[in-house]
Chain A
Amino acid sequence: MIRSETSDHANAITPAAALESLKRTLNFEDWPLREQELVAGFSPSVSRLPRLEQYELDHETLLPIISTWVGRNYFYRQYESRSAFALTVIVGHQTAKDVAEGLLLQIVYSQMWSEPRVEFNAKIGDVAVYKHPDPNASIAFMRNNIGINLENYSSNGKEFSLEGLALNIDNSLKETVTVQSLSEDPDAPRILRFEPRARTIHPGERTDLDIEVRDEHPPLHFLFNAKMGSYNQDPTRKDHWYFRSGPKSGQAEVALTVVNEINLMAQGRCSIRIE
């Protein structure tokens, strides 16, 4: 099929359009999601699930923070059996619906052609999505405010029970006591202090950022976002951060998100006047 060089994009599907299309296909508006029954964080490394303990954590990656949820990818291997799987955990801090959208984004951002199907209140999760006819290839499910996506990466894929692992994780989540809000939860990190040493600086100048965080589930990840300047780590002291102003005058802002091991976050913000 030959197309013109300057396509009018009439048939083009963007990821955003693909997400909307998938939501329609999977009757997203009808999903029986449990709002206001929040599980206070989840991490496979802390949960001590018997099935997971048979595997070695190869690496983990925190996903970009998107509004109200924290997502993290974990990649597990078992070298003897050549089994491997990718586990994505999404912890919603406000609504289950946001998490469910995040879970669908995981499906949208895949190159493989698939025709997913959805199951409500079946044996796994409040809602489960299967990308393939084979449930051992890929399963995504929601339990309360927790989204789980499992992808099989085994070289001996047919012998590995992804569904069994999903059940194991879901049973663990079902047994967890829920709360109505995470904002004051003792397991969530708390930013006690986040402020610049100097409230006003000149263009090009720096000011230290004083940060104090209380948390029961280390290690903590510090994620910054700065406007009209940059956040920087002191090369000689890795726990020391500072803001460097850009060349223009105005009101600079620095946002800080801290995420702990069980994927709970706290957010803070401070302003610096540049003149």
Chain B
Amino acid sequence: MREDEPGHDPTDREPSCSIWITHIKFNYDQTNLSNDALNIRVDRLHEVTIPEWDQSKVLAKDSRAAYALKETRGQTVYIEARFQIDPAQPDRSGRIKATGGGILGAIDPITIHFVNGVSRDTSHSGDHEFVRIPLRHRSFSAITRRDIRWDWFYQCPHSGVWFPMDTTRHRIYVVLEEPPEPWSQTDPQVYPWTQALDYAIVGANTVGLSDPSEAAARVVQHVNGEPLQYDIWGGRPFYYSFGLFEIVEWLGGFTNGPIVNCYDCAAAVTTFSNVLGCHLSYQFHGPFGYLHPVFPIGRGLCNNPFYGLRPAPYDVPLVGIDDAGRTSFGNHAYSKQTGNNYDACMRGSLGCARALGYYILAFLILIVTLGTATSLANRLFMKAAGWLIDMSQTEYEGIVLDTSTPAEAARDGGAPVPESLSI
């Protein structure tokens, strides 16, 4: 065991001083996201206060920070921490380090200057009681949420022995890049909410993903798998009003009830994908038209979506193919990313040939790329299972929209238009 490692003969050496950590800032500069953490909130009504950690915070969930993978790539990321030393003197110095740290990594030994017992660092323009510390061993590679701990140690002046200081615990989120609308890094009310990050990372199981298409696809799966059912009576929204996604009611346990329409689903997919740093836009498509048999959210196979109040024979979800007496979508909403569609409001019923085509393509891609293009292959497997993800407009409409007869074609004719979305 080396002399400077903790545990080295601690019993026969009492420290000549005591150094302790009082505060940690992860987001010390709210105008920068390349060298520190993102601006975040807990939810609509509660902020994440800075410093994110102080001595009253024991659990990881009480000290949260989020980082953007793209903006921090190739950059040195820092934290700022405040220390105190006892006995206090006008000018002293000591050393600190921390082991552990998970994805933020261990903290290499660093010399701390103390003025009247409080740490002092004039190398930056912020609060000089906070010492800027580089995270030289951080490892951000994909979307994640990790609870980390640092075990801190200190050395007194003129001593080579490390003594245990404190343990701090933190919840760290990593997203792909700066979350776009409806989120913001300049409007403090809509800084990304950790409640939304929990939903999109843990709930939607996007941990480990670095491809925005696959991340959005997982969000589609998660939204579609919620205990919700399509509004077969009138196709009305319950979580979307005039461009506003009622995210509090959604995340609060679906307090507006279990009935939804496509606006609700598109708003949810856009909002929760974008908090991960994807770039989805909410699209309104009207007129839309008649449906091929599909699986609306929470419902069985259906080509007559508003059968709830219709007289017979249209009071059932599935009627004859091309029956123009069945109900249709006056309009529809879904999301787009880089031109491709994502729709959690329904799943397609592909038929054997089309599904087999996706499977074969996925296997071919895996073989040709020697297993390196797993994200693309995964999306093709998902498409084969009927998920409406990462599809071109033509591919999407081919599965969903029935325009095979003149009557059906007459009801179609619209195109998607991006609509702004707020929370």
Instruction: Write the chain B residue with the least CB distance to A2.
Output: B394
Question: Could you say which of B109-117, B270-278, B407-415 contacts chain A?
Answer: B407-415
| B261 on interface, CB distance cutoff 8 Å | yes
Partner of A232, one of B45, B308, B413: B45
Question: Could you say which of B16-24, B68-76, B90-98, B229-237 contacts chain A?
Answer: B229-237
B397 near A3: Cβ-Cβ < 8 Å:
yes
Instruction: Write the chain A residue with the least CB distance to B332.
Output: A111
* Chain A residues near B186 (CB-CB < 8 A): 246
Partner of A246, one of B188, B394, B412: B188
Partner of A113, one of B246, B327, B339: B327
Q: With contacts A109-B242, A111-B329 known, what are 18 further pairs, Cβ within 8 A?
A: A3-B394, A7-B393, A11-B415, A13-B331, A18-B331, A58-B257, A61-B255, A63-B242, A75-B257, A110-B236, A110-B330, A111-B261, A112-B235, A113-B330, A154-B309, A246-B30, A246-B187, A246-B188
* Chain A residues near B366 (CB-CB < 8 A): none
* Chain A residues near B46 (CB-CB < 8 A): 232-233, 235
* A59-B257 contact given A9-B415, A157-B308, A230-B188, CB 8 Å threshold: yes
| B195 on interface, CB distance cutoff 8 Å | no
Within 8 A of A (CB), among B318-332: 327-332
A112 near B41: Cβ-Cβ < 8 Å:
no
Within 8 A of A (CB), among B363-412: 392-394, 397, 401, 403, 409, 411-412
Chain A residues within 8 Å of B, Cβ to Cβ: 1-3, 5, 7-15, 18, 58-59, 61, 63-64, 66, 73, 75, 86, 105, 109-114, 131-132, 134, 137-138, 151-155, 157-158, 204, 226, 229-233, 235, 244, 246-247
Partner of A61, one of B188, B236, B256, B284: B256
Inter-chain CA distance A118–B42, complex, in Å, is 46
| B263 on interface, CB distance cutoff 8 Å | yes
Inter-chain CA distance A244–B48, complex, in Å, is 11
Tell me the smallest distance from the CB of B410 to a CB of chain A, in Å.
10
Partner of B47, one of A3, A105, A232: A232
* Chain A residues near B4 (CB-CB < 8 A): none
B415 near A134: Cβ-Cβ < 8 Å:
no
Interface string of B236-264 (1 = CB under 8 A from A): 11101110101001000001110101110
Inter-chain CA distance A163–B50, complex, in Å, is 56
Secondary structure dominating the interface of A: loop
Instruction: Write the chain A residue with the least CB distance to B263.
Output: A109
Inter-chain CA distance A151–B232, complex, in Å, is 12
* Chain A residues near B235 (CB-CB < 8 A): 110-112
Within 8 A of A (CB), among B336-365: 339
Inter-chain CA distance A110–B393, complex, in Å, is 22
Instruction: Write the chain A residue with the least CB distance to B230.
Output: A111
Inter-chain CA distance A14–B284, complex, in Å, is 7
Within 8 A of A (CB), among B10-50: 30-31, 41, 45-47, 50
* Chain B residues near A12 (CB-CB < 8 A): 285-286, 414-417
Inter-chain CA distance A111–B238, complex, in Å, is 12
* Chain A residues near B339 (CB-CB < 8 A): 5
B415 near A3: Cβ-Cβ < 8 Å:
yes
A204 near B287: Cβ-Cβ < 8 Å:
no
| B162 on interface, CB distance cutoff 8 Å | no
* A134-B309 contact given A12-B417, A246-B186, CB 8 Å threshold: yes
Residue contacts A-B, CB under 8 angstroms, 14 given: A1-B401, A7-B416, A12-B416, A15-B242, A18-B286, A111-B329, A112-B327, A113-B327, A137-B234, A157-B308, A230-B47, A246-B186, A246-B187, A247-B31
| B419 on interface, CB distance cutoff 8 Å | yes
Inter-chain CA distance A116–B280, complex, in Å, is 33
| B189 on interface, CB distance cutoff 8 Å | yes
* Chain B residues near A154 (CB-CB < 8 A): 309
